[in-house]
Amino acid sequence: MGKYQQEAAQLLELVGGKANIAAVSHCMTRMRFVLNDPKRADIPGIEKMKVVKGTFTQAGQFQVIIGNTVSDFYNDFIAVAGIEGVSKEAVKSAAKQNQSTLQRVMSALAEIFAPIIPALITGGLILGFRNCIDSLYLFENGTKTLCDLSQFWAGLDSFLWLIGEAVFHMLPVGICWSVTKKMGTTQMLGIVLGLTLVSGQLLNAYAVAGAAEIPFWDFGFFRVNMIGYQAQVILAILAAFTLVYLERFFRKICPAVVSMIVVPFCSLVLSVVAAHFILGPIGWKIGSIISSVVYAGISGSFKVVFGAVFGFAYAPLVITGLHHMSNAIDMQLIADFGGTMLWPMIALSNIAQGSAVLSMIFLQRKDADAQEVNVPSCISCYLGVTEPAMFGVNLKHSFPFLCGMIGSACAAVVCVATSTTANAIGVGGLPGILSIQPAYMGSFAICTLIAVVVPFVLTCVAGKRRLAAAGGVPADDPVPAAVTVQTVPAKVQSLCAFLSGKAIAITEVPDQVFSQKVLGDGLAIEPTDSTLVAPADGEISVVMDGSNHACGMKLANGMEILMHIGLDTVDMNGDGFTAHIKEGDKVKAGDRLISFDPAKIKAAGHPATTMLVITEESKGCKPVFHTGKTVTAGRDTIMTLED
């Protein structure tokens, strides 16, 4: 009989029985359930169990916190329940049944764009800088830009476009590659498909929006327009998934002896045909319809209502790529009326999305990994390039994106009501005021204030509740200078750093299980190296089998500690982690425990923050945590134990 057989039987009953369990797995500290009907789980009853330290639901998974002994508990549970445990990836996949359609879409978008975010941030900052030197008329009474005055800046502007074009105009290439990588099909075919969407043989998407003559392929009895799809997102995703499912289909039905020829040929040709013959034309038709509606709305009797709708919907249009059509409308308005009321609303939408990111910077101010994306995304967004902000931050969390849309709508209503007009298509974002006609600069400044304040406040309100529920808002209280635990013989007087990096309070960790000290008190390190070492002499009590992302130690004084590399890194299934120890090994302070690859952790979308938690206290003394400083593994003291 297992040690936890009775508790396992009790938990089985409280989660709704075997019939209510779609999948179950575990990580280093938690049981992870996917329940067919989450409402059947008796959460108060589960949390009253002596073996349970807490529960929460995240990403469709009902998680029960057990602690270091979760592996033994899990084995007893599946034996009592008479079910088979599954992999963490299978649990993650099954959990999608408890997510709404919108949550699944947002999750898929986040996974697709995660590998592309560094390029988007770089491109956003470059294009934002180019906007400042080639589109801001700040010299000679507002008639010339810095590029007009200096050949050096003009040359630099032209050179930097090499990178900006590669990032944004060629974005479909990156998207097609990322989709095939995510779905496990041939990545090179995805790259080729993406290249066919932006080929130099095709008319550039921006030229199409400018009403340029469109070339075509002539097949005798029908023609297909030769249109490029630069910066298009939705089309690229649809085309890539078409390729993925075609490749899977042909691989399934094709004999292995000819699969190397048939599968890539048929999959690629048919997906390119679908992209240019079906998906692309439908997308441009939708864009043309939107263009006509926008023109009628901006010049009609209900322009204030239209302003609210356009302000709210413009950010989603950027995702689809249909926002290109607005350029043609702007040019028509400028030709007919000497200015455009559309461009100011576009600039305000950029500002609103940037302000939502600014709020995330505030909410996640203690999360160094999140700030690596938040800060540059906010800067580029305020300079008129929204993609890094939307794909890197706002869509990932979903609620900042919606808050930005609401703020944009509020600003657009005031903008249209005051007839705020721009002289020409200029810089988006905060510098957009320089393209506004002088008579309307005051009203645009008011609109800008609305576009900054409303999304910021809404995101803060929504974020404090949403991120706190998911463990993403760090506590404001600093770690106590000393926490009373129990005695410890003089044999262990201090613990050294288990990694090199910045030591932070456990309350600053963006995961509620650790930050709320559910498993115990401790501290964390934002690592600058890649080898976890023993903080003191002791014995390895547990190593997370398969994933190797965490281990436990029992020290000579009886204290037990848990060290956990990264957050949610169990989902990586051991990719990037190498354990140098096994259960029962005796180790000395500074000995290697686990090596890991920080780049892989970051690419998987997880923070690399590494925690040390006291899971079993010793008697009669106080641990004092030394945080808020940079430490070196195996050398600097991070915790002292005082009588």
C-alpha span between 191 and 463 (Å, rounded): 37
* Domains located in the chain, CATH noted: 5-99 (3.30.1360.60), 494-642 (2.70.70.10)
What is the per-residue pLDDT for 448? 94
Tens digits of residue pLDDT in 157-212: 999 989 888 887 888 899 899 899 888 889 999 999 999 999 989 988 777 655 56
C-alpha span between 321 and 169 (Å, rounded): 11
Tens digits of residue pLDDT in 201-257: 998 877 765 556 889 999 988 898 898 888 777 788 889 999 999 999 999 899 888
What is the per-residue pLDDT for 340? 79
C-alpha span between 425 and 389 (Å, rounded): 21
Task: Classify residue 251 by its DSSP letter.
Answer: H
Q: Kindly state the tokens that stand for 623.
A: 């641990």
Helices of type H across 233-302: 234-253, 259-273, 280-298
What is the per-residue pLDDT for 488? 36
Tens digits of residue pLDDT in 555-567: 888 888 999 999 8
- The model carries a pTM of 0.55
What is the per-residue pLDDT for 277? 92
Number of neighbours of residue 289 by Cβ within 10 angstroms: 12
Please classify residue 638 by burial: count the beta carbons closer than 10 Å to its beta carbon, then call 0-12 exposed, 13-18 middle and 19+ buried: buried
The whole-angstrom distance between residue 585's C-alpha and the CA centroid of its chain comes to 38
CB 183 within 8 A of CB 190: no
70-81 and 5-14 helices cross at what angle (nearest 10)? 70
CB 563 within 8 A of CB 550: yes
How far, CA to CA in Å, does 269 sit from each of 173, 184, 248, 376, 413?
16, 19, 14, 39, 47
Residues identified as active-site: 27
C-alpha span between 458 and 362 (Å, rounded): 13
Tens digits of residue pLDDT in 454-509: 999 999 998 876 655 444 444 333 333 333 333 334 456 789 999 999 999 988 88
Q: Kindly state the tokens that stand for 293.
A: 């509606």
Tens digits of residue pLDDT in 583-627: 889 999 999 999 999 888 887 878 899 999 988 777 767 788 999
Band the pLDDT of 104: cuts 50, 70, 90. Answer: low
C-alpha span between 153 and 130 (Å, rounded): 9
Exposure pattern of 190-206 as b/e (b: 16+ CB <10 Å)?
bebbbebbbeeebbbbe
Tens digits of residue pLDDT in 293-343: 777 777 777 888 888 988 898 888 776 655 655 665 665 566 556 677 888
Tens digits of residue pLDDT in 365-386: 877 777 878 888 888 888 877 8
C-alpha span between 397 and 470 (Å, rounded): 11
Tokens 């808050």 correspond to: 403
Band the pLDDT of 290: cuts 50, 70, 90. Answer: low
What is the per-residue pLDDT for 324? 56
C-alpha span between 179 and 113 (Å, rounded): 9
Q: β-strands 622-625, 577-579: how paired? A: unpaired
The whole-angstrom distance between residue 484's C-alpha and the CA centroid of its chain comes to 38
Residue 6's φ and ψ, nearest 5 degrees, are -70, -45
| Mean pLDDT, rounded, for 495-524 | 87
Task: State the distance between the two ends of the chain, measured CA to CA, in whole angstroms.
Answer: 41
Top-confidence range, 318-327, 445-454, 568-577? 445-454
What is the per-residue pLDDT for 481? 34
How far, CA to CA in Å, does 122 sit from each of 64, 299, 377, 633?
40, 37, 9, 32
Residue 558's φ and ψ, nearest 5 degrees, are 95, -10
What is the per-residue pLDDT for 487? 36
| Mean pLDDT, rounded, for 541-564 | 86
C-alpha span between 277 and 280 (Å, rounded): 7
| Mean pLDDT, rounded, for 34-48 | 88
What is the per-residue pLDDT for 463? 85
C-alpha span between 124 and 326 (Å, rounded): 20
